[in-house]
Amino acid sequence: MDRTKKIFSHIITSGSLYFSKSKFPHSEAGQLPKQIEINRPIIIIGSGYGAAVAALRLCEAGKKVVILEMGINWKESGIPYSGLLKPGRSAAWLKRKTIAPFMNIFPLKPFTGALDKFNFKNIDVWVGRGVGGGSIVNGGMAVVPKESYFKEVFPKLDAEKFYNFYFPLVNKELKVNGIEEQFVKDCPYYKFTRVGEAEAHKAGFKTVRVPNVYDFKYMEREYKKEVPRSALNTEVIYGNNHGKNSLDKTYLAKALATGNLEILDLHCVDMITGNEDKSYCLKVRQIDTSGKTVADKTFRCDKLVLGAGTMGTLKLLLSAQDKNNFPLDNTVGKNWGNNGNFMTGRNWVRPLSGGTGALQSTIPVGGVDNWEDSEHSFFTEIAPLPMGVDVATALYLMINRVDKKGSVTYDKVQNRLVLDWNESHTVRMKANADYFVRKMNRANGGTRSHLLFKNGFGANICYHPLGGCVLGESTNVYGKLKEHDNLYVIDGSLIPGTIGVNPFMTITAIAEYCIENLIAQGEFE
Ligand code: FAE
């Protein structure tokens, strides 16, 4: 038996934590031991889309699985999410002020909130924290990519199987549904969509209706005041108390129902070490809701799945390489993209006829599809801006092609990721935004939104970080990390920086494909 196994052999646990007094003696007489060691066969880091799919399919295959999630289990905690106009505990991860893309005038008491932000030199990247990952804070837009673009991005995948099997499967599992057209027509909370669509048509653009995981039947009842309001009460990027089918209500709930899944929230993995026997040790900080460490733990596992999201997974891999000589293929960190995210907006939108509306649902249902225009290829969400008063402003989250990819490295002095990304990566995106806004203003009036963004362009706003550990480049064709026998990556980092639409449907479908094949190949035996 090698050294690592010996250390853990006496503390193999079955649900409870063991204090290992011999290895970690008390630092002072009478104090509790500082270190806790736990042994588990399969550990998944994170609980977003990739992680949740992996957990469910492994649990269904009879495997015992532990999820380590740094954020809180909101559902279990009973702590309510807060709305945009009254930010509370869920509004930000350990910050003293809100971190929304704009209007951050609200002070906060630091708490392990649901929304976090990485500040890089030229771009900010927002991510979700908590059991359910990004599904807690996202807008729920459930968009299947265009098949032609999927084929371009993933030329080696069997597109037919994805479009006939994996996408329909995740559509069902994620409870995707569509809004009734009559409701869009009648509901004052969708005036911003009606105005956005009418103006787009007048400017000669094509619009599309966008499906969502938010339960639109629930929303209709919200509107009639039969149930508590959520989307119609400014709730979204700090979490939805009702209506949204986030992962804790879908994949993770199903996985827990097998009895094979244990979720440990407020467990932040700081470091991965590879052992001689090809198992892994994880250095983990258990924290309280103020971010204070309450226990240091070491987990050992035979099989490790990284589902920490693009930025989380890259930080874990690149810091392990830097500090522990963790073997990595030299493609890790490369081929990163912002999914072409580019925000823009227009002021003075119909100021004399009620603008875009004082009341706005937080759930977007409309988009402008200009993807087939080879000169200005983009998709843009007609986004809500629920400020409680009419600000006669239209907001757009554009998704463009990513012509030039970025790369991610690790700065060991500051213990943070560094992103090679600057204006040269977004030139085409800015040209598309300019083209779109000009055409809209010419047809409808309005000005470029200097009130929301500097010069009216939000080039530095990214909700969709993708890539850095690309499927078939840094991993094998099913997400098994190169240079490793027992480590798998299943999250947004597998997608090479772009997918042309909001990404969680693709992340979920790729996760289903990876885990199905990994299980079939006997990787978790
Ligand atoms: P993700 O969902 O990010 O989950 C990763 C999890 O790992 C998180 O819970 C982390 O807390 C946890 N974690 C990270 N590091 C550690 C660590 N060291 N130790 C323990 N736990 C860790 O991963 N996409 C759409 O398709 N439609 C939308 O409408 C949409 N709207 C969005 C709105 C906002 C404001 C944001 C931020 C994102 C939005 N997205 C949307 C993007 C989408 O949520 C995102 O692509 C997915 O959540 C990424 O899924 P992953 O499985 O990669």
- Does domain 34-520 fall into CATH 3.50.50.60? yes
Identify the pLDDT of residue 22. Answer: 32
Closest CA to 53 of 41, 67, 40: 67
CA 381 to ligand 1: nearest atom = 29
Q: What is the pLDDT of residues 30-49, one digit of tens each?
A: 454 456 789 999 999 999 99
236 lines ligand 1 (CB under 6 A): no
Say which residue the tokens 């249902």 belong to: 365
406 lines ligand 1 (CB under 6 A): no
Identify the pLDDT of residue 75. Answer: 93
Closest CA to 338 of 459, 460, 466, 433: 466
Q: What is the pLDDT of residues 172-216, one digit of tens each?
A: 999 999 999 999 999 999 999 999 999 999 999 999 999 999 999
Q: Is 320 helix (H, G, I), strand (E, B) or coil?
A: helix
Identify the pLDDT of residue 480. Answer: 98
Substitution candidate for ligand 1 out of 102, 127, 252, 493 with most atoms within 8 A of CB:
127
Closest CA to 456 of 337, 345, 324, 303: 345
Question: Domain limits of the chain?
Answer: 34-520
CA 247 to ligand 1: nearest atom = 2
Q: Cβ of 323: how many Cβ atoms within 10 Å?
A: 14
The residue from 242, 267, 425, 464 that is catalytic is: 464
525 is catalytic: no
From the CA of 68, how far away is ligand 1's center (Å)? Answer: 15
Identify the pLDDT of residue 185. Answer: 97
Identify the pLDDT of residue 300. Answer: 97
Identify the pLDDT of residue 13. Answer: 33
Contact 113, 92 (CB under 8 A): yes
Exposure pattern of 152-186 as b/e (b: 16+ CB <10 Å)? Answer: ebbeebeeeebeeebbebbbebbebbebeeebbee
HSE (side-chain half, CA atoms, 13 Å) at 135: 35
Say which residue the tokens 């449907």 belong to: 505
Closest CA to 269 of 19, 68, 40: 68
468 lines ligand 1 (CB under 6 A): no
45 lines ligand 1 (CB under 6 A): yes
Identify the pLDDT of residue 399. Answer: 98
199 is catalytic: no
d(CA 164, CA 80): 38
At residue 305, what is the residue type?
V
From the CA of 115, how far away is ligand 1's center (Å)? Answer: 10
At residue 141, what is the residue type?
M
d(CA 398, CA 429): 8
d(CA 499, CA 507): 10
From the CA of 116, how far away is ligand 1's center (Å)? Answer: 10
Substitution candidate for ligand 1 out of 270, 416, 463, 470 with most atoms within 8 A of CB:
463
Substitution candidate for ligand 1 out of 138, 283, 338, 512 with most atoms within 8 A of CB:
138
Q: What is the pLDDT of residues 107-130, one digit of tens each?
A: 999 999 999 999 999 999 999 999
Alpha helices in 25-84 (DSSP H): 49-60, 74-77
DSSP strands (E only) in 99-148: 115-119, 124-128
Identify the pLDDT of residue 353. Answer: 84
**Model-level pTM greater than 0.85?**
yes
458 lines ligand 1 (CB under 6 A): no
Identify the pLDDT of residue 37. Answer: 84
Identify the pLDDT of residue 102. Answer: 84
Q: Give the residue ranges of the chain where pLDDT is below 70.
A: 1-35
